[in-house]
Amino acid sequence: MFKAKIRDSFSAAHCLRGYQGDCERLHGHNYRVEVTVASATLDEIGIVMDFRELKASLKEILFEMDHHYLNDLAAFENRNPSAEQIARHIHARLKGMLPSGIALSEVAVWENENCCALYSE
């Protein structure tokens, strides 16, 4: 299996409803997002997927969250915008944007340099 990974980032605020501690209050993060795609084969020029295409798709998704209060977005109306849920949201959106034959292997969302949540199917 061949894999390719890209990184991007966005800044946003959120609060975790029902959390017993500081994270229940409004706060923000400079999130870092890593996306890994996979394919059993390479294309005719020897790559899994063009990095530019993958970056453009991810940037479209991140733009919708960048500099927003995540709790106000429809995607997090009925669930907390935790790093885990953000990763799942990005995965669900990006999965439908990939070319045929490319699998979305994993999405990682980093809240800081030491903590991340991952989502895969």
The per-residue pLDDT for 85 is 98
Q: What is the pLDDT of residues 34-59, one digit of tens each?
A: 999 999 999 999 999 999 999 999 99
The per-residue pLDDT for 23 is 87
Tell me the pTM.
0.95
Averaged pLDDT for residues 26-39: 97
The per-residue pLDDT for 65 is 98
Average pLDDT, the chain: 97
- Helices 83-95, 51-63: axis angle to 10 degrees equals 130
Question: What are the structural domains of the chain?
Answer: 2-119 (3.30.479.10)
Taking the CA atoms of 14, 79, 73 and 17 in sequence, report the sign of the dihedral they define.
Answer: negative
